[in-house]
Chains A and B, each alone.
Chain A
């Protein structure tokens, strides 16, 4: 079953209408998420992330295009049996106790009562709410409600997890705990699709990312492959006769010579290593060498920020 498409989005268009005015929130995007993948869905505010996720959950209806989950129409009961979902902002019934809420959601997933009695305390412990099952949800903090949200999402051990704003409202400890839970689920083969503004989190957890801007996918692929071309390697050195080594520089390399020191910048780690070895063998004085790895955040800013705003 590996390689099977769990989510298939085809030419999805989501339009919001307000009287005569209509806004195209999602503009004909297509993508697939394969079984066992962990995919991060990133983009600036208002890019169309939540609208896409709502379409995947069947909460809103596309103006055109199709969304299928496990080969079934989005929003169908059969697909929801296999999905765990955490909304962007969710409040849970404040008049219920934590365990009652989880029993309600577990019941809707048709988990037998006996199993639920065992599963609910385990889950509460797993998300860091041990001993809070008897407390009314109105007394939970925002972070605790988010943890409860995570518990309700994974209560039925779903095959697919869809999280809209993964760690919204969580403190650093909560984020750490959530990452542990997700890594464990990922290890078990659960497919994970989530949107997040925490790009370090996406970088840590995801195999691949989808970037969306103004309702269109602007970039998709493997996290490390995407960022590799933006990595920079710099060597500042002094060497009287460097002509032979410099003749082997790739065309995209940058070379500057201020008479006293020479500076080279290349994009490939292999070439950087070769150059360093050559300079050392030739007796050069290395003043400075640095590998500047691009973070997902740099990549994101570079790609998503409109050209006119760059460098501001």
Chain B
């Protein structure tokens, strides 16, 4: 187990080095700086209620930017290894393919967590500056669930990247990300007006496509008037995220396990 984790960590580190040296992380810093600039404007005009607006926009930008980072990073990891033939010397070392895959996934998650932490730092600093602090418990729950959101997306991007080419995998993953945000709302509107087989189809879709909106507590954080959500709900959402992540990673492993290099 120790060597499994060590190998995964070694592989994960390469993704961190790549993200830093390829300057992708700097794009995130740039977005953060824009946020800070926006915050200064909010403070300058001192308009009532703009604190909530600031929180809403900031959290939305953070979530979308980090989700896109995860999709882009995860979807190109394996195809690039194949294309650049960097896989050969790596898999000639004493490392199993599942261990390699886990290392890649861990790397993507760490890069996502790093981006998100940077955003969070800017966001919290901004919230304190405009004297509009967030509910700490709720905020921690929000961050925790967002990480599960990114894990599900990362797993999905890995799976799609083994089935399709990079561009198609990224496009479909982004479409599914957007679709999953609105699926539940859409279903609640149209479900009662559909035929039996359409309802079955919608229910099937409901289970196949992960409901990523379930992980989004940003509405609660923006308004800040609700207490943190119950522990059982957090546990249930953790299990929900874990099931999808494991399913996608297992699918990726099954495709990668016997793939000829």
Contact = CB atoms under 8 A, between A and B. Distances in A.
Nearest to B22: A95
B89 interface: yes
Contact of A108 (B84, B88, B94): B94
B6 A107 contact: yes
Interface stretch (B13-21, B134-142, B216-224, B238-246): B13-21
Interface in B59-96: 84-86, 88-96
Contacts of A59: 88, 91, 260-261
A92 B86 contact: yes
A85 B87 CA distance: 12
Contact of A90 (B13, B85, B260): B85
A231 interface: no
B258 interface: yes
Interface centre among A87, A89, A109 (most CB of B within 10 A): A87
A61 B94 CA distance: 18
Interface in A129-164: 136, 149, 152-153
B17 A85 contact: no
Interface stretch (A75-83, A175-183, A212-220): A75-83
A89 B22 CA distance: 23
A104 B9 CA distance: 10
The dominant DSSP class at the A interface is: mixed
A104 B258 contact: no
A33 interface: no
B181 interface: no
Residue among A81, A87, A91, A108 facing the most chain B CB atoms (10 A cut-off): A108
A60 B85 contact: no
B195 interface: no
Given A92-B89, A110-B3, A77 B95 contact: yes
Interface in A84-116: 85-87, 89-93, 95-96, 100, 104-105, 107-110
Contacts of A35: none
Contacts of B18: 93, 95
A259 B84 CA distance: 68
From B6, B84, B89, name the one whose CB has the most chain A CB atoms within 10 angstroms: B89
Given A59-B260, A61-B258, A96 B17 contact: yes
Nearest to A60: B260
A93 B86 contact: yes
A104 B10 contact: yes
A152 B89 contact: yes
A68 interface: no
16 contacts: A54-B260, A59-B260, A61-B260, A77-B96, A85-B88, A91-B86, A92-B86, A95-B21, A96-B14, A104-B10, A105-B90, A105-B93, A107-B6, A107-B7, A107-B10, A109-B93
Given A57-B92, A87-B92, 7 more contacts: A54-B260, A59-B261, A93-B18, A96-B17, A107-B7, A109-B94, A152-B89
Interface of A: 54, 57, 59-61, 77-78, 80-81, 83, 85-87, 89-93, 95-96, 100, 104-105, 107-110, 136, 149, 152-153
Shortest beta-carbon contacts, A-B, top 6: A85-B92, A60-B260, A108-B93, A87-B88, A59-B261, A95-B21
